[in-house]
Amino acid sequence: MKRFGMFYKPGLEKVANKFVEKLKEQNYEISYYTSEEKQISDSSDCTLILGGDGTVLKAAKYVSSPIIGFKGGRLGFLSSYTIDEFDEFLLDLKANNFKEDVRQFLEVKELGEFFLNDVVAMREPSQKMIDINVRFGDGSFYFHADGIIISTPTGSTAYSLSLGGPILLPNVNAIVLTPIAPQFLASRSVIVPDHEDINITTNFPVHLVVDGRDLGLFDSFSVRKSSKSVTILRPQNYDFSKSIKEKMGYGKNYFK
């Protein structure tokens, strides 16, 4: 890897400047360097992303080459180093000593929009509970609820988890359906294989919030596996379960 792009969260410009300097010192090239997501391009061997998981989500969909996230404070799920660990990163880079963590995108078919975490279909606050019909392959479910989340394994530790959903390891080939505030106690998540096309219809239009961006009101949409995935480069000691333990205290040994 020789050429780097850099996308940073507004406010992290100084950090970005310092990183760019250090990279140039070591004779790496910088192909672009921006806080505007529209300027992200696929002209680099690797995109460095400064910010939290939200910043990584924004950048990931614009690139097909690998990404590496740097976060202030503690690690995010999608970041590989903290900002303070940039020198460790430079050593790993010199030795080309990374682990590949491939994450699969799903897409909202009608909108041509893909996502790494989830699409949330949610009633308007002024609206009553809605009827949601979910169809896939040879099956269907009905929910009377505030909405429904369709999530990737990556997104299983985001909003779906807040609603009682399970934790999926990133490499499970599955899609998670989690109803939001369902009537009839139907609050469990349903896990379907990711080769299924999932079609959702509602009796009133719902907001479609795709990886955090509200794309407007729809009463019908479908979700399927995207042809797109993204490779996150990680330090060799990266371990998904470690981030679950550290960030949530789930499955952690508090006695130790």
- Binding residues (CB under 8 A) for a copy of itself: these are 131, 134, 138-144, 153, 156, 161, 164-169, 171-174, 176, 184-186, 188-193, 196, 239-242, 244-245, 249-255
Closest CA to 119 of 51, 57, 40, 37: 57
- Please tell me which residue in 45, 53, 101, 118 is annotated as part of the active site: 53
CA atoms of 98 and 103, how far apart (whole Å): 16
Which residue in this structure is represented by tokens 């680099």? 44
In the complex, the smallest distance separating the C-beta of residue 87 from a copy of itself, rounded to whole angstroms, is 25
Comparing CB distances to a copy of itself, the nearer of 227 and 237 is 237
End-to-end Cα spacing for the chain: 40
Closest approach of a copy of itself to the CB of residue 93, in Å: 21
- Cα distance between residue 47 and residue 10, in whole Å: 16
Shortest distance in whole angstroms from residue 136 CB to a copy of itself: 8
For residue 200, give the amino acid letter. Answer: I
Question: Residue 65 or residue 187: which is nearer to a copy of itself going by CB?
Answer: 187
Q: Which neighbouring-strand residues pair with 225? A: 106
53: annotated active-site residue: yes
Nearer to a copy of itself, 47 or 189 (CB): 189
Distance CA 3, CA 138 (A): 47
Q: Which residues are catalytic?
A: 53
